Chain A
């Protein structure tokens, strides 16, 4: 009984503090918010603010180091302010609370989101491992097609989980040797909605550092998916050595493409994203991203952009009189399965 009486003032004090905090919330220009709006605002702030902080580069914010008021912040600029660019991708209703995230964010939100993403990733990896085994032994074409559809959806989930971790500041594993650019581009293709509709040019025989391989494939996939979500077949991806650096160019970009996530990811990877030409997006990889930059600096042939051609990737299904219609298991951006798309593997485009 004695404990109860001594604890009551403490509880009342805490309740009063919480109530005071609620009533004092809001910028002077807006005034106190209604309880319902406050509740929804809190929810919105929690998510939007955390995403904003993640994309900002993982800088830790302590309680004693609050962000400046959102009202004084400059307008969102996708290229220079990835955090605002991320917030800009949300709907207006969600975006409004994000502007006030600074005063509401708890310092552990980023870590919490990172923890959830890190918890999700091994589950997705395990599903992909199971799919690998099922595909290995599957002999029925129809069943294999279904597995491919599932595989692609889960692969895209893995991309999302890993992008979240990269934006949150987690470094990718540097275990393993150099990864050929061909593998990086193939991994990127596996992560886009309409992977079989992309035309790719020649792949220089260069390799990227292990820790950059997966994030780079995610970045390429982000650009491809954002460039023309409804007309992916119009896209073309070329890789070109420029000095000791490497440029990956996606042409056929639709006007007004939302490249906010790509910009944030590129900033994280220290990859320059050139969008000066609205019809194309170029990823400029510095020489430091390549394992042997000198290989990229080899003299180029007048006939092509790079002297060493390792391979080409599945080309766009361009029309050809010799082509035969063959069913293709694929899944579009909305998740529907599409079939009966011609496939041509050998006569690929090599006019890059």
Chain B
């Protein structure tokens, strides 16, 4: 790892740093790492008052989404996504789904796994 750093493998740092997007916050204890969230009805209009990242997250959550999927969508660190989602949940724009409920892609993966085991 040290050698790779010395060889300059890493890209230059971004101009807009992650901590600016959360105002420095890192605590998102209200949103578990494996949480699934979904947009509340009528939330789009309220989300317009938020930042670009808030709006992007809300737009992604028309259907239930995991944080991992949201992270890939908005291309932000998972910890940042958790904070932003936590804020949206606090504002009532997004809501946490029942831990037992599975988002669509997980349900599809389960179905494919079951089919594969049948082979």
Which A residues are within 8 Å of any B CB, using their own CB? Answer: 122, 125-133, 135-139, 141-142, 144-145, 148, 151-152, 154-155, 158, 182-183, 186-187, 189-190, 195-196, 213-214, 217, 310-314, 317, 324, 326-330, 341, 343, 345-348, 350
Q: Which of A127, A142, A195 contacts B19 (CB 8 A)?
A: A195
CA–CA, A347 and B50, complex, Å: 8
Q: Smallest CB-CB separation from B78: which chain A residue?
A: A139
Classify the secondary structure of B's interface with A. loop
Q: Which residues of B contact A312 (CB under 8 A)?
A: 51
Q: Which of B8, B24, B50, B84 contacts A126 (CB 8 A)?
A: B8
Q: Which residues of A contact B24 (CB under 8 A)?
A: 145, 148, 195-196, 328-330, 341, 343
Task: Report B36-52 CB contacts with A as 1/0, cut-off 8 Å.
Answer: 00000000001101111
Q: Which of B12, B19, B23 contacts A345 (CB 8 A)?
A: B23
Q: Smallest CB-CB separation from A340: which chain B residue?
A: B27
Q: Which of A139, A145, A213, A345 contacts B51 (CB 8 A)?
A: A345
18 contacts between A and B (CB under 8 A): A128-B14, A129-B12, A132-B10, A132-B11, A132-B18, A135-B79, A136-B78, A138-B79, A139-B33, A151-B19, A183-B16, A313-B20, A314-B20, A314-B21, A314-B23, A326-B25, A329-B25, A343-B22
Instruction: Tell me the B1-37 residues at the A interface (CB within 8 Å).
Output: 5, 8, 10-29, 33
CA–CA, A131 and B5, complex, Å: 11
A128 in contact with B79 given A141-B26, A195-B24 (CB within 8 Å): no
Q: Which residues of A contact B22 (CB under 8 A)?
A: 343, 345
What distance in Å separates the Cβ of B3 from its nearest Cβ neighbour in chain A? 13
Q: Which residues of B contact A313 (CB under 8 A)?
A: 20, 51
What distance in Å separates the Cβ of B47 from its nearest Cβ neighbour in chain A? 8
Interface size class of B (residues with CB under 8 A): 35 or more
B93 within 8 A of A: yes
A311 touches B25 (CB 8 A): no
A328 in contact with B13 given A139-B33, A148-B18, A345-B87 (CB within 8 Å): no
Q: Which residues of B contact A328 (CB under 8 A)?
A: 23-26
B20 touches A132 (CB 8 A): no
What distance in Å separates the Cβ of B80 from its nearest Cβ neighbour in chain A? 8
CA–CA, A58 and B88, complex, Å: 50
CA–CA, A125 and B11, complex, Å: 8
